[in-house]
Amino acid sequence: MGTLSRSEDRAPDASDTPADARERRGASGRARRLAIAVGLADVRHEPDAASELVTQARLWTEAAAGDERDGWTRVRLPDYEGWVRSAELKATARQASPWVVVITAHMAPVFAGSQDARQLLAAPITAVLPLRHEDASDADRLEVRLPGGHTGWVRRADVAVRDRARPFPPSGPPTALQLAHELIGTPYVWGGTSPRGIDCSGLAQLCYRQAGCALPRDADQQFAAVSYVVERGDPQPGDLIFFAEQGEIDHVGLSLGGSRVLNARMGAGRVVIDALDPGEPDYSPRLASMYAGARRPMPEWARGPAPERGEPA
């Protein structure tokens, strides 16, 4: 088990009040659609800061709220379920602007004003924030909406302005690999999903989200979801390489071509490059023995027909 991280970023006025609780539950007491209101929220297995970190959710990630207990709320996220601190959730509102900003910096500060140096929070790469105004001027900062009716400002250099209906236009495995290389050395954190700390499947999911391909959260889910099977001797850069223990998929990395795999490995404590060939200097006999198959998330970016779905290659 890796080191568990805590959310450090807080939205303005993040203290939880009875009014906030009523807003989360609604007058009928039924769950309401909320959003993560901090840069990166820890999602725990149980409503306890010492409980297992199962994943992390980005600013503006939608969350369906369920039970509440001792300052925690059980949420259903687009890719996971777990417990989040209640103060880190705010109500969402219908977005009028057809434009959003996508964070492209590893961590982007969100400021209190267009010229204000105060930082409200920091949003991780691939977070999607509604743009408040469609003004395409050359201003250094853009105004964005935050959950709960707040606003903030981001540096234009830290974001890309995109169509709300298509925030991640497909750009292929090269984009995924570029980000993966940038994250070499990032600390391994079980359940982590950001450049502050990341696990193996979080790395694959993050890099392919940046490339315009949505992957499930866990390695076994990714293995099941990607249908293009790659033969062991024919990996292309960007293919996902899966590993198993006792027949259960529990690790994934991104192929660099040949036998080299870029992965967030618990044993190394960080994102590293390993090799599956004993003739390579970074050879990992343990990973080589755990090899369970390879999949290609974006086969349309590769040449040749896709092989039929079958047993793990």
* CATH code where residue 289 lies: 3.90.1720.10
| Claim to verify: residue 235 and residue 275 sit in the same structural domain | yes
| 8 Å CB contact between 13 and 125 | no
The DSSP code for 114 is S
| Cα–Cα nearest to 226, from 125, 302, 126 | 302
* CATH code where residue 145 lies: 2.30.30.40
| Claim to verify: residue 77 and residue 146 sit in the same structural domain | no
Q: Which of 91, 111, 126 is the last residue of a domain?
A: 91
- Going by pLDDT thresholds of 50, 70 and 90, the confidence category of residue 301 is confident
Q: Which of 64, 91, 118 is the last residue of a domain?
A: 91
If one counts the domains in the chain, the total is 3
Q: Is residue 219 part of a domain?
A: yes
Q: Is residue 44 part of a domain?
A: yes
Beta bridge partners of 143: 153
| Claim to verify: residue 269 and residue 218 sit in the same structural domain | yes
| Claim to verify: residue 82 and residue 105 sit in the same structural domain | no
The DSSP code for 205 is H
For the stretch 261-285, pLDDT in tens is 999 999 999 999 999 999 999 999 9
What's the chain's average pLDDT? 88
| Claim to verify: residue 281 and residue 178 sit in the same structural domain | yes
Q: Report the pLDDT value the prediction gives residue 2, as an integer from 0 to 100.
A: 30
Domain that holds residue 128: 99-163
Q: Is residue 306 part of a domain?
A: no
Q: Is residue 141 part of a domain?
A: yes
Say whether 87 sits in a helix, a strand or coil: helix
Q: Report the pLDDT value the prediction gives residue 97, as an integer from 0 to 100.
A: 81
- How wide is the angle at C-alpha 39 spanned by C-alphas 36 and 41, nearest 5°? 55
Q: Per-residue pLDDT averaged across 307-312, rounded?
A: 40
pTM: 0.86
